[in-house]
Structure 1
Amino acid sequence: MAWVVLVISGLLETVWAAALGASKGFSKLWPSVLFGVALLLSMSGLAYALRAIPLGTGYAIWVGIGAVGTAIYGIVAMHDPLTVGRITCLVLIVAGVVGLKVLH
């Protein structure tokens, strides 16, 4: 169960990161509210998951999911550049996350 919560919390990190950008420095109400709710849920889920998953492993996986998810969101929704270098780096992050899970 802790792993499922950790993955969902990592996905929520993507949500709060995207909402933070959309809030334009907290000047827009609804993106700011979404940021706060997603941040609270993401951190709470991480805290719950870390009861059963070692800190270094759990935090690295949470950050990795959030970083890759946010990068994909940026590419798809915000038209961030898609380059071979970016794809390579994202694949390396995913490989690291998978490696941490496998070696846990």
Structure 2
Amino acid sequence: MSALSQAWLLLLGAGICEIGWPLGFKLSQTSQYPKLAIAASIISIAVSGLLLWMAQKQIPIGTAYAVWTGIGAAGTFLVGVMWFNDPLTVMRSVGAMMIIGGVIVMKLAH
């Protein structure tokens, strides 16, 4: 596997971890273990940042940041809809699709 492919996998992992910290914050408000949820958020932030840092060795900062935040935003939107009964409206869905589309374009442009 090339260094660039590894960097993209690291960036994917960073984006997935980026979903973890808002999830932890939400769970800290809704579960009986708020301290554990906050601790998970802190760990998720740290791992996400570390993986982003590692990915940026091969991927330009603008591309890496856009993909990282896009995965985090779209993923958090999906988590909210699926597990927290966040509203699934046409406009919110279009917004999420635009984020995902932007991430795809950034990947293809790299």
Counterpart residue number, 2:63: 57
The CA distance in 2 between the partners of 1:45 and 1:23, in whole Å, is 24
Cross-structure match for 2:37? 31
Count residues in correspondence. 102
Post-superposition CA distance 1:4-54 (Å, at most 9, x none): 010111011101111022223xx8211011111111100000000011100
Q: TM-score, normalised by structure 1?
A: 0.94
What is the root-mean-square deviation of aligned Cα atoms in Å? 1.1
**1:9 maps to 2:4:** no
* Corresponding residue number in structure 2 for 1:75: 81
Relative to structure 2, which stretch is displaced further, 62-71 or 31-40?
Answer: 31-40
- Which structure 2 residues correspond to residues 81-100 of structure 1 after superposition, within 5 A? 81-100=87-106
- After the TM superposition, which segments of 4 or more aligned residues of structure 1 sit over 3 Å from their partners? none
Task: State the secondary structure of the residue aligned to 1:80.
Answer: coil
Percent of pairs identical after alignment? Answer: 34
Give unpaired runs (5+ residues) of structure 2: 1-5
CA deviations over 1:47-81 (Å, ceiling 9, x no partner): 00011100000000000000000000000100000
2:109 corresponding residue in structure 1: 103
